[in-house]
Amino acid sequence: MPERIELTPSQQTRCNRLIRRFCANYDNGNCLPLDEGDGCVCVQMISLSLICKYFRGAVLPADKELYAEIFRQRTYHCAECKAAFVPNSNRQKYCTACSRKVHRKQKNESARKRRADS
């Protein structure tokens, strides 16, 4: 039996937001797979622990920071903006938003240096 993972109130709030936005089984407070005609409340919305396997596998990974926080994975801080992020590789130094800006800046700097040397 998998270990029971408890959520803090702030984590539960973030999870509920994810459920409302991304869960395919959520319908106005009810869970469609548990519905037998008279409506059944979504148990993940009212629980302080991770219960729903669908939520854990399909919805929760949409928020990488929350996923890492709940499963105690290591998060890193962006070297540019200091925001927390979960890296896609072991060499990633910037969050996705900053990586584009930094790459563009480095590319322009390299081109400027190359033009100055010629």
Q: What is the mean pLDDT of residues 17-38?
A: 87
Cβ count within 10 A of residue 94: 19
pLDDT of residue 100: 93
* Per-residue CA distances from 61 to 29, 46, 113 (Å): 21, 20, 42
Report d(CA 66, CA 60) in Å as an integer: 8
Q: Residues 58-114: pLDDT tens digits?
A: 999 888 888 888 887 677 889 999 888 878 888 889 988 999 999 999 999 999 999
- pLDDT of 29 over the 70 cut: yes
Report d(CA 2, CA 102) in Å as an integer: 42
Backbone angles phi, psi at 34, to 5 degrees: -90, -10
Average pLDDT, the chain: 87
Q: What residues does 27 pair with on adjacent strands? A: 30
The pTM score is 0.61
- pLDDT of 35 over the 80 cut: no
Report d(CA 107, CA 85) in Å as an integer: 24
pLDDT of residue 2: 58
